[in-house]
Amino acid sequence: MLLMCAVIFGFMMLQQPDQEQAQKKQQQAAQTEQASNQQAINASVDTLTQAEFTLLDTLVAKNGNIAVEGVNIINDNGKAAGTVKVDNKTINIASLSASSSDDPRSQNLAVQAVKRVIEKYAKASAFSANLTGVNKTITLKNDSLTVEISTKGGMITRATLNGYKAYRTQEDYKHNKSVPVELITPENNEYSFGLNSDTQHFETKDFFFTPEAQTDSSVTMTMNLEGGAKWSLRYTLVKGTYMVRMEVLQNGMQSIIPTNRTDMDFTWSQKIKRQEAGKQFEERNSALYWKVQGSDDVENLSESGSKDKDVQERIKWISGKSQFFSTALIANKSFTGAKLSSTAFEEGKNPKEYDTYLKDINVISHLEYKSDSPAPASFYFYIGPNRYNVLSSYDRFSPDEDLHLTRLVSLGWTLFRWINSGIVMPVFNWLCSFGWNLGIVILVLTILIKLVLWPLTYKSYLSQAKMKILQPDIAAINEKYPDPNDAMKKQQKTMELYKQAGANPMGGCLPMLLQMPFLIAVFWFFPSSIDLRGQSFLWAPDLSAPDAIIALPFSIPFLGDHLSIFCLLMTITNIAYTYVNMQSQSSSQMPGMKWMMYLMPVMFLVIFNTYAAGLSYYYFVSLLITIIQTYLTRLSVKEDKVRAIMAENAKKPKKKSGFMARLEQAQRQAQEQQKRQAKQRRR
């Protein structure tokens, strides 16, 4: 196995691309493309036609002065005039009719910019008056959440969680350099509604809105359109929650959008922002989630790599989820299907983006729409922490069905979710109510779990203790039957010995099997518990992140560039527990398996080194208590008492069940068959 691991690691290292070589290729390709573009631009001089100048006259007559994309057009006695700024040069629009120029590149860029503006305004039609405006933000705030809504696009461009800090490095913990958690920023989030007439498509992100009816907790962002029509987005920050109500309001839209159009597009793109120091683990817990309407299941795209899916069913909500925070859009009715995609950031392609973001998610969906309806759609934006009790309380925002927002908290598969939500979390929250340090809470929780499991595991520990006492007897049986042909007889004698002593050869495995559901449940619970986030204990500054105290001068595949102290302690304790277990097993049975048992803790070191310190701390304490329980049980089991019980059991008449009789008969037949085969080989 060690050789296999070495080969795999070596192969992975060889497969990694040479970053320097890749960067050179990218630079060469960019230079080639730039040279090609430059040659094309300088080849000829582009101009504006008379028809395009006429369109400009019409645009400024209809919309007034236009200032967009470096193009500044004013109305000069019914004629379009103004300038275009390109390459830090200002060019007069009137000069763009000439086919000769001292600077063909700048003129061509200016002509292209003006043409884009003409095309944009022509497509906007009834919305064109809203293509220009002043980009400013409106701030709404409550105790939990602060949001900024931009007049450009009428969308939420910044959302800050009051009371939560982003911990990106170990220094953030030590020197309190952390900044507030921002789930939405202008750089990482954009959404837009798409309206369709018979000939045109309008994207709300392209237009400027006017704020109306503004209060501390609500605002209506409105576009005034041709013919007195209005289209608005009303935002209301729900008091004491992380919910933002978003309503689509309109009036007179049937004069622009035909009533036979029954759907409206909705697009949403978001780069899930990194908030934690342990990026590797945070990235493994970030994904695009959604819930199909009427279903109890919550689905998600894979946390690893880049994935996409075309969902045909109606969708109740869609969410971009990270380890501890989520942004979810909940439809009052539903999305009528969606194309969903999630893209992972590549480390060498854009280092800044790779360090800042976790996933790039994109949603293209549709909504039912009627142009003559005053309120065709409404939503709730959940922008907040993945806290189980908070998410559970928000089911009231959907009276028709359970939203199952608690699935945004990663608690494992169904059985383990039951254990976590029904046992571990209530006890954990109860212990937290005493105001103890979270490290003490985990310690007490571990002791309580071990005490609850003690009646189930005691007999197994007792059997282990008896197995250790029987080691000399088992060795004597092995010496008495060294011949491989007597293997079945040796097994029969060994089983008789176990039966007389009341021992179980599988007793060492049973304690682990009984505890396995709890071990796996807490494996999901601790890394997902936001209560551990930012909570220090001993040397660990954050129990929800790795306690990366020992920094390595290089990075080891899978292990990383550090060593976690609690993970090392867990590994050492695991090796000690393996040694204690192996003492009760026969030294002549499966010697290769013993080395495998000692190798497993080392493998766990590699796996858990990047996991939450609280999880490694729990396993360390749990294994330590198990070792103590094992030794205490062995001290309580006296060899003379076991021998006396064996003597009494040996005097009792042996009763065989029908099954045992048939089993022994089958063993005798097998032994006879082996003897016949051995005689034939000797002949």
Torsion of CA 66, 68, 70, 72, to 10 degrees: 0
Residue 391, strand partner residues: none
Q: Which residue has the higher pLDDT, 554 or 296?
A: 296
- Whether the CB-CB separation of 145 and 79 falls below 8 Å is answered with no
Residue spans of alpha helices (H) in 279-387: 279-284, 351-356
Asked if the model's pLDDT at residue 664 lies above 80, the reply is no
Mean local confidence (pLDDT), 250-258? 92
| Mean local confidence (pLDDT), 477-500 | 71
How many CB atoms are closer than 10 A to CB 377? 22
Q: Report the mean per-residue pLDDT for the chain.
A: 81
pLDDT at 477: 75
At residue 291, the pLDDT reads: 95
Q: Give residue for tokens 């006396």.
A: 644
> What is the per-residue pLDDT for 371?
93
What are the beta bridge partners of residue 218? 236
Q: Helix (H, G, I), strand (E, B), or coil: what is residue 404?
A: coil
**DSSP H or E run through 221:** strand 218-224
Is the pLDDT higher at 462 or at 407?
Answer: 407
Q: What is the pLDDT of residue 661?
A: 57
The pLDDT assigned to 40 comes to 46
pLDDT of 231 above 90: yes
Over the stretch 601-641, which tens digit does the pLDDT of each residue have? 788 888 888 888 898 999 899 889 888 887 777 777 665 66
Average pLDDT over residues 487-509: 66
Q: Is 637 strand, coil or helix? A: coil
Query: CA-to-CA distance for 671 and 484, rounded, in angstroms?
Result: 11
Residue-wise pLDDT tens digits, 16-71 = 444 445 455 555 655 555 555 555 445 578 888 777 777 777 777 777 777 777 88
Closest listed residue to residue 222, CA positions, set 243, 252, 264, 186: 252
Contact between 540 and 613 under an 8 Å Cβ cutoff? The reply is yes
| Residue of higher predicted confidence among 11 and 666 | 666
Q: What is the pLDDT of residues 501-519, one digit of tens each?
A: 666 666 556 666 777 888 8
Of the listed ranges 252-266, 360-374, 535-549, the one predicted with least confidence: 535-549
Report the sign of the C-alpha dihedral through residues 562, 565, 567, 573, in that order.
positive
Question: Residues with Cβ < 8 Å from 526, sequence gap 6 or more?
Answer: 442, 532, 543, 544, 612, 614, 615, 618
Separation CA 566–CA 613 (nearest Å) = 6
CA pair distance 166, 173, nearest whole angstrom: 10
Contact 528, 410 (CB under 8 A): yes
With a cut of 80, say whether residue 481 has pLDDT above it.
Answer: no
> Nearest to residue 226, comparing CAs of 135, 123, 345, 126?
126
- E strands, 26-155, in order: 66-68, 71-76, 79-86, 89-92, 137-141, 145-150
Place of tokens 């029987």: 470
Report how far residue 271's alpha carbon sits from residue 276's, in angstroms, rounded to the nearest whole number: 15
State residue 251's pLDDT score: 95
The whole-number pLDDT of residue 366 equals 95
Structure tokens at 428: 């954990």
Tell me if 325 sits within 8 A of 300, measured CB to CB: no
So what's the pLDDT on residue 41?
47
Residue type, position 257, single letter: I
Contacts of 272 (CB under 8 A, 6+ apart): 188, 286, 320, 321, 322, 357, 358, 359, 360, 361
Three-class DSSP category at 267: strand
How many other C-beta atoms lie within 10 A of the C-beta of residue 654? 9
pLDDT band for position 370 (50/70/90)?
very high
Q: What's the rounded mean pLDDT across residues 249-265? A: 92
Question: What does the pLDDT read at residue 181?
Answer: 92
Q: Check whether 151 has a pLDDT greater than 90.
A: yes
Among 147-156, 158-167, 305-314, the range of highest mean pLDDT: 147-156
User: How many CA atoms lie within 13 Å of 268's alpha carbon, on the beta-carbon side?
Assistant: 25
Whose CA is closest to 342, among 318, 374, 312? 318
Q: Please tell me the predicted confidence (pLDDT) of residue 204.
A: 94
User: Can you give the residue ranges of every domain in the chain?
Assistant: 44-125, 137-410, 424-645, 653-682
Residues 6+ apart with CB under 8 A from 151: 133, 134, 135, 136, 137, 138, 208, 209, 210, 211, 221
- For residue 213, the surrounding DSSP H or E stretch is none
Query: Mean pLDDT lowest for which of 245-249, 442-446, 643-647?
Result: 643-647
- Cα–Cα distance between 300 and 326 in angstroms, integer? 13
% of the chain residues with pLDDT over 90? 35
Count of beta carbons in the 10 Å neighbourhood of residue 307: 17
Half-sphere exposure for 641 (CA within 13 Å, toward CB): 9
Burial class (CB in 10 A: 0-12, 13-18, 19+), 188: buried
Average pLDDT over residues 658-679: 65
565-608 per-position pLDDT tens digit: 898 999 899 888 887 777 655 544 555 566 677 777 788 888 88
Phi, psi of 346 (to 5 degrees): -90, 135
User: What is the CATH topology of the domain spanning 137-410?
Assistant: Beta-galactosidase; Chain A, domain 5 (2.70.98)
* DSSP bridge pairs for 325: 385
The rounded distance, in Å, linking the Cα atoms of 248 and 232 is 6
Closest residue by Cα to residue 403 from 336, 341, 337, 334: 334
What is the rounded distance in angstroms from the CA atom of residue 424 to the CA atom of residue 76? 74
More confident: 527 or 209: 209
Hey, is 192 helix, strand or coil?
strand
The pTM of the full predicted model, rounded to 2 decimals, is 0.76
Of residues 289, 530, 277, the one with CA closest to residue 386: 530
User: How far is 233 from 224, CA to CA, in rounded Å?
Assistant: 12
Size of the chain, expressed as the number of residues it contains:
683
**Terminal CA-to-CA distance of the chain, rounded, Å?**
42
Which residue intervals of 502-612 are DSSP H helices? 510-528, 565-582, 591-608
Percent of the chain with pLDDT over 70: 77
Question: What's the pLDDT at 468?
Answer: 67
What mean pLDDT comes out for the span 145-170?
89
pLDDT per residue as tens digits for the range 525-537: 988 899 998 888 9
In sequence order, the β-bridge partners of residue 81 are 74
**Residue pair 534/613 in contact by the 8 Å Cβ criterion:** no
Quickly state the pLDDT bin for 466 (edges 50, 70, 90).
low
Which residue has tokens 């070596």? 10
* Packed helices 591-608 and 613-636: angle between N→C axes, nearest 10 degrees: 150
- Cα–Cα distance between 563 and 603 in angstroms, integer? 14
**Three-state secondary structure call for residue 290:** strand
- Residue 57, H or E segment: helix 50-63
207: Cβ contacts below 8 Å, ≥ 6 apart: 124, 127, 130, 131, 152, 153, 154, 223
> How many angstroms separate the CA atoms of 131 and 82, rounded?
17
Place of tokens 């004013």: 74
d(CA 562, CA 170): 12
In degrees, to the nearest 5, what angle opens at C-alpha 63 toward C-alphas 58 and 64? 95
Of the two residues 489 and 407, the one the predictor is more confident about is: 407
Residue among 475, 463, 461 nearest 586 (CA):
475
662 has a pLDDT exceeding 90: no
Report which listed range, 78-87, 557-566, 662-671, is most confident: 78-87
**Over 90: is that where the pLDDT of 185 sits?**
yes
| Structure confidence at residue 672 (pLDDT) | 72
Report which of residues 290 and 347 the model is more confident about.
Answer: 290
Q: Which residue has the higher pLDDT, 511 or 200?
A: 200
User: Poorest-confidence range of 85-94, 104-113, 150-159, 663-672?
Assistant: 663-672
**How far is Cα 564 from Cα 431, in angstroms, rounded to an integer?**
26
- Cα Rg of the chain (Å, integer): 35
Maximum Cα–Cα distance across the chain: 122
Cβ 219 vs Cβ 234: under 8 Å: yes
Residue 194 has pLDDT above 50, yes or no: yes
Model confidence at 434, in pLDDT bands (50, 70, 90)?
very high
